[in-house]
Structure 1
Amino acid sequence: MPHIPFPIPASSEATPPAVPGATRSYRRFSLRSLIASWREKNRFQIDLERKLQGDPHVLDDVGLTRRQVEDELARPFWHVL
């Protein structure tokens, strides 16, 4: 059996205590953070595309190939990974 370097919580520890309205608040927070991640990814792609079109030599400075940039630009903004 492999050694796990961190403790795994029991199922009772993994679920937060029942607090009225906590789920709704958590969902609202999750939705906001998700939308913020999407916006950040979209801005990143726009900036990357501008740099690619404006000065392709910037990619060498960043350490990316043209293929990597094109692959990144082809991905939808909602694929945040």
Structure 2
Amino acid sequence: AIRDVYKRQTLDTLLTETGMAGGDVIDQLHRSVWEFELSEREAVRLMERIGEADYRIAEGANEQVQLESLLAALTLDE
């Protein structure tokens, strides 16, 4: 879908053009969760997804792959 392509392009821009680190993206998402209009269950699920990506990045996995995986998982959860 077009929206999914836009999400990936935005991620690419953050990581490559602005030089933002994957960990910074994760940190910002983590801080922003409670600002989204989500049920408590949805917020917890989002935190779990963010935590999984954060753990994998901390263990040395490729940041971009993990963030794209996070986006894909969130898209499937919609």
Category of TM-score, reference length = shorter chain: 0.3 to 0.5
TM-score normalized with structure 2 length: 0.34
Larger Rg: 1
More helix by share: 2
Q: Which has the bigger relative contact order, CA under 8 A and spacing at least 6?
A: 2
TM-score normalized with structure 1 length: 0.33
